[in-house]
Structure formats: structure tokens, C-alpha cells
């Protein structure tokens, strides 16, 4: 009989990572756990650590704490601020997985001598021609492959996602069966470092200066209102514009250099064309030449839609949807799929101004 294999699990203190660790332990794996100390409000930090310790004690696995606040601030929060100040709407979860969470998890595993790592993400990993393939999780309402598309082949090859073929309801039932000391329905914050606060406060604090007021203009360039900081707006925003009109206006574009916010009607937000840069092919997939049919997502909750993808330069792509999509947002990730398999993704860039 082969000895059990060491595996290091990232433990957040929530139900998903707790069940992932318990499932691996039930499989006979020799499981260890790490809890990352992240930036954010101090309120509740000690309680979260205590809850994570209780979970690991119940499962019977050792826990270590790893302080990643400096790396997180440098790689995620700094980029988050810069994106908003540049007129973009960033996705910090994608950046965190690529630059902080998985690299730090792999580094801690190396330090422990554990060959494998695991998280509570809802995604599936398979192998094809000896290479890892990232696929959608089984639960369409929870699956998280979108957030994982930038992980390297080296990271994916040593990763396990124990919840990938389970639904959220099944995970919660497993938590009860294991008797895990987790809060019912406890979920991680979507933007963990904000702690439920308004992102605008973080941008203002990091900016270190008073936001400059500017114009809100329509698509013809006529002033229709005023703003107190362009970073306070996102593409598709309807409320909070302060514009009196019989028909609602929506934010179409953030022009950071001109300090202008462009608004229009809902129908003006539909577009078929997307350009993205810093495109990566997930899991070492060979770059595909010419035009290919894909299913593409322009944000996490966007339903993937049929499109044609074409490489237009090193790590740059152009994508054309078969049907116009609403609120294509610069700064968000464009992620492309072949059926359920992630092909790759990049960061959406602004279209050239006409």
C-alpha cells in the first residue's frame, strides 16, 4: 500500500475550504492547512483565525498562518487603485489568484515538502496529452474557472479542486455530515480586502489628494452633469449620476486623462467587438493561429456567448461576438472557452476613440 501523499489546503475559515480539506482527509491524504493573513479591517481577524483553528482541529489537520499582506498590497491593491484611477474597472480576484494566493500556496507547500496544493474553488481539472486542463465546475451558479484562467501549467499540474464536481447544496450537506464548525451560509467577501466598505474610500485614501471634479458628457460631447471624481463610476452604472432626464442615462466610458465620464442610453452599451491584451493560454495550451470559434465571458456573471477569437499580436486578441453584448468593460477579464474547457483570457482594453 502506498503511503498517503502530503497536500496543503488553503483554509479561509469558510465552508468551502473546510469541506475541501475534510474530503481530502477522508480520501486518506495527509492534509495540512495554511490560512493567509490578508489586508483589511482588523475587526473580526482574530475571530476568523480562531474559527479556522477550530475547523482544522475538528478535521484533525495541522494549521499554519502565513502573512501575505505585503505581497497582497503590492500585487493586488496597488493595481486595484491604479486601474480605477486610469478609468478601468479591475477584477482583483483574478489578480490575487495569479500573483498572490496560488504562488504563496505553492511556496508554502514547497517549504513543507508537500507536492500538492488544494483550494475550495468550484472548478475541475483534467489532463490531456500530459497537460492540465481547467474546466468549469459542476455547479453553474458557483463555478469559478473564470477567476483561475491565468494560473500557470506548473501550478495547475499540482493543484486539486475537491469541490469541482459538487454543487453548493452538496457541499453544505457534506459540512453537516462532517460536523464542521462552520457558520451556515458563510461566504467569503467578493472583494475580501474591502470588508464590505465602499471601494471609493480605498481609492481616495491611496490617492492622497482630493478628487478633481469634472464633466459628465453625452455621446455628442455636450455637458449633461458633473462628477466629483471619475474613478467613482463604472461602465453600465445607472444610479448616482445626478442627471435629470425622462429616460435614464448609463455610464458608457471613463476618460481618465480628460477627467470626463461619458453617458448614453442603455442601447448604446451594446457592442460586438472586444480587444484584450496580456492574453494567456491556460495550462500551456498552444496558441491557436487564425480565427477560432469560442464561448466568451466578459465578466464573472456574464453568460458565455458564441464569438470568433483572433490573435492580433503577441498576447493580444480581437474577439467578435455573434450577437452584441451589454456593457463590455475595460479592465475586466475576457475569458474564452471551448465548451467547458478554459482556453485562456486577457484584460479588456478600451476601443480606439473615434
pLDDT per position as a tens digit, 124-181: 999 988 899 999 999 999 999 999 999 999 999 999 999 999 999 999 999 999 999 9
- Proportion of the chain above pLDDT 70, given as a percent: 94
Distances (CA, A) of 105 to 67, 121, 145, 255: 11, 14, 18, 38
Tell me the mean pLDDT in the region 314-322. Answer: 96
Nearest to 82 by CA among 333, 352, 331: 331
**pLDDT of amino acid 319:** 97
* Residue 216 to residue 230: CA distance in whole angstroms: 9
User: What H or E segment, with its residue span, contains residue 215?
Assistant: strand 214-218
Nearest to 327 by CA among 268, 245, 249: 268
Q: How many CB atoms lie within 10 A of CB 8?
A: 27
Alpha-carbon torsion (339, 351, 332, 154), positive or negative = positive
CATH number at 6-194: 3.40.50.620
Cell of 352: 480606439
* Residue 308 to residue 314: CA distance in whole angstroms: 18
Q: What is the pTM of this model?
A: 0.93
Interval 212-256: pLDDT, tens: 899 999 999 999 999 999 999 999 999 999 999 999 999 999 999
* 90: pLDDT strictly greater than 70: yes
Return the CATH architecture of domain 214-264: Roll (2.30)
* Residue 20 to residue 119: CA distance in whole angstroms: 7
Answer for the pair 347, 276: CB distance below 8 angstroms, yes or no.
yes
Alpha-carbon torsion (268, 274, 277, 278), positive or negative = positive
**pLDDT of amino acid 354:** 41
**pLDDT of amino acid 189:** 52
192 annotated active-site: yes
Domain boundaries defined on the chain: 6-194, 214-264, 269-349
* Residue 241 to residue 165: CA distance in whole angstroms: 43
56 annotated active-site: no
Strands ordered across the beta sheet of 30-37:
63-67, 30-37, 6-10, 116-118, 159-160
- Proportion of the chain above pLDDT 90, given as a percent: 83
Return the CATH architecture of domain 269-349: Beta Barrel (2.40)
Supply the DSSP symbol for 232: G
Tell me the mean pLDDT in the region 52-57. Answer: 97
Cell of 221: 460631447
Distances (CA, A) of 214 to 88, 166, 231, 252, 262: 17, 49, 11, 16, 11
Please provide the size of the chain in residues.
354
* 267: pLDDT strictly greater than 50: yes
List the catalytic residue out of 56, 93, 96, 336.
96
Nearest to 299 by CA among 126, 93, 42, 5: 93
Amino acid at each position: 500500500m502506498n503511503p498517503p501523499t502530503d497536500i496543503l489546503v488553503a483554509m479561509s475559515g469558510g465552508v468551502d475550504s473546510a469541506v475541501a480539506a475534510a474530503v481530502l482527509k477522508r480520501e486518506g491524504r495527509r492534509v495540512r492547512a495554511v490560512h493567509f493573513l490578508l489586508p483589511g479591517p482588523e475587526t473580526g481577524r482574530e475571530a476568523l483565525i480562531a474559527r479556522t483553528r477550530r475547523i482544522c482541529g475538528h478535521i484533525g489537520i495541522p494549521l499554519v498562518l502565513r502573512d501575505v499582506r505585503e505581497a497582497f498590497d503590492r500585487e493586488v491593491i496597488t493595481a486595484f487603485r491604479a486601474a480605477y484611477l486610469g478609468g478601468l474597472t479591475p477584477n482583483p480576484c483574478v489578480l490575487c489568484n495569479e500573483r498572490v494566493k496560488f504562488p504563496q500556496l505553492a511556496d508554502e507547500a514547497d517549504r513543507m515538502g508537500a507536492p500538492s496544493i488544494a483550494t475550495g474553488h468550484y472548478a475541475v481539472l483534467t489532463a490531456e496529452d500530459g497537460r492540465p486542463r481547467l474546466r468549469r465546475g459542476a455547479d453553474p451558479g458557483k463555478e469559478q474557472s473564470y477567476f483561475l484562467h491565468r494560473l500557470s501549467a506548473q501550478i495547475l499540474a499540482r493543484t486539486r479542486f475537491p469541490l469541482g464536481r459538487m454543487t453548493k447544496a452538496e457541499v453544505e450537506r457534506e459540512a453537516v455530515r462532517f460536523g464542521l464548525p462552520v457558520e451556515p451560509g458563510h461566504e467569503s467577501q467578493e472583494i475580501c480586502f474591502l470588508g464590505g466598505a465602499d471601494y471609493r474610500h480605498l481609492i481616495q485614501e491611496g490617492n492622497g489628494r482630493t478628487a478633481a471634479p469634472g464633466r459628465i458628457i453625452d455621446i455628442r460631447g455636450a455637458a449633461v452633469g458633473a462628477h466629483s471624481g471619475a474613478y467613482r463610476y463604472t461602465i453600465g452604472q445607472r444610479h448616482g449620476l445626478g442627471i435629470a432626464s425622462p429616460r435614464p442615462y448609463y455610464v458608457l466610458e471613463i476618460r481618465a486623462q480628460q477627467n470626463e465620464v461619458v453617458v448614453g442610453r442603455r442601447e448604446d452599451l451594446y457592442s460586438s467587438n472586444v480587444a484584450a491584451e496580456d492574453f494567456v493560454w491556460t495550462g500551456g495550451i498552444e496558441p491557436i493561429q487564425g480565427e477560432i470559434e469560442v464561448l466568451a465571458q466578459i465578466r464573472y456573471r456574464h453568460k458565455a456567448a458564441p464569438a470568433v477569437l483572433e490573435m492580433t499580436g503577441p498576447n493580444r486578441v480581437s474577439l467578435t461576438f455573434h450577437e452584441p453584448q451589454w456593457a463590455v468593460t475595460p479592465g475586466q477579464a475576457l475569458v474564452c472557452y471551448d465548451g467547458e474547457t478554459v482556453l485562456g483570457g486577457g484584460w479588456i482594453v478600451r476601443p480606439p476613440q473615434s
